Amino acid sequence: MRHTVVEDWSRGSSTLHRRAAGAKLLTLAVFLVLLASSHRRLVVLTAALFALLVWAILAARLPVRGVLSRAAVVLPFSGVFAVVSWLSGDHNRSFELILKSYLSALAVLVLVGTTPLPELLRTLEIARVPQFLLTVMQFLYRYLFVVLDEASHMRAAAASRGGMTFGAAAGVLAVLFARSYSRAEGIHRAMTARGFDGRFRALVPRPYSAADGQFAAACILLLLLLRAATEVLH
């Protein structure tokens, strides 16, 4: 199943995988902001950033071709706007849209390809993201593939009966809705049976180590230098 690929990637054991989620998240944030705010010598900067990301992919022992092609998912959308911009005479914008959207997607992919989502969610708590929202995301992720499987079974069943009409599709969604609701009730019963009292308590995450701090500092420094270089060499 294609949608479990990122999850398999995230469970590796390279040095990058072992770095704390917070350090990687911070690095990503700096990366994205530097990229987004850059307009001069963009091609040079993006080439350098691309090289950096490919190095990270190799260091994380992820499949280079797989990661690069998955990030390309953004290209159809950006491509359309790039073409429109080009035809309107805004050539710079054209390049910007393609390069920035692709690189940003690639960078995010490197983060989630080296960090299991539950760990990432726990880190976001520190960034003052509402705990309730993070818990919702946690459960969404847990049951995403379960419900996707249900849906694909129903779709296959309909296909083997000669396809779905509009009304039949609405019926499928209604059944899926009802089943999901019912599943949530079952989950609540299972939680109550094990003493749930209204508050989710998490296992304490791994403590930060010096290596995490060094990693973040080194990466951020490198990124700032790259950006400064493109500004100065303009």
Q: Which residues from 90-129 bind another protein, rule CB under 8 A?
A: 90, 93, 96-97, 99-101, 103-105, 108-109, 111-112, 116-118, 120
Residue 62 near residue 12 (C-beta atoms within 8 A): yes
Find the binder of another protein among 12, 66, 150, 229 (CB under 8 A): 150
Compute the least distance from the CB of residue 132 to another protein, in Å.
4
Find the binder of another protein among 43, 47, 51, 144 (CB under 8 A): 144
- The verdict on 157 binding another protein (CB under 8 A) reads no
Provide CB contacts within 8 A for 192, sequence distance 6+.
none
Q: How far apart are alpha carbons 80 and 82 in whole angstroms?
A: 5
- The verdict on 37 binding another protein (CB under 8 A) reads yes
Q: Maximum distance among all alpha carbons in the chain?
A: 65
Q: Looking at residue 14, what DSSP letter applies?
A: S
- The verdict on 23 binding another protein (CB under 8 A) reads no
Find the binder of another protein among 12, 143, 220, 229 (CB under 8 A): 143
String of contacts with another protein for each residue 193-222, x by CB under 8 A: xxxxxxxxxxxx------------------
Nearest to another protein of 61, 93 (CB atom) = 93
Find the binder of another protein among 190, 218, 225, 228 (CB under 8 A): 190
Helix, strand, coil percentages, rounded to 5, for the chain = 80, 0, 20
State how far the alpha carbon of 230 is from the alpha carbons of 47, 75, 78, in Å: 11, 25, 24
Nearest to another protein of 61, 79 (CB atom) = 79
Residue 62 near residue 113 (C-beta atoms within 8 A): yes
The interface with another protein within residues 38-77 (CB under 8 A) comprises 70-71, 73-74, 77
Q: How far apart are alpha carbons 221 and 118 in whole angstroms?
A: 28
- Segment interacting with another protein, rule: CB under 8 A, options 48-56, 57-65, 184-192, 213-221: 184-192
Nearest to another protein of 146, 228 (CB atom) = 146
CA pseudo-torsion sign 217, 223, 227, 230: positive
End-to-end CA distance of the chain: give it in Å, rounded. Answer: 46
- The verdict on 14 binding another protein (CB under 8 A) reads no
Nearest to another protein of 37, 214 (CB atom) = 37
Q: Which of 174, 131, 132 is nearest to 154 (CA)?
A: 174
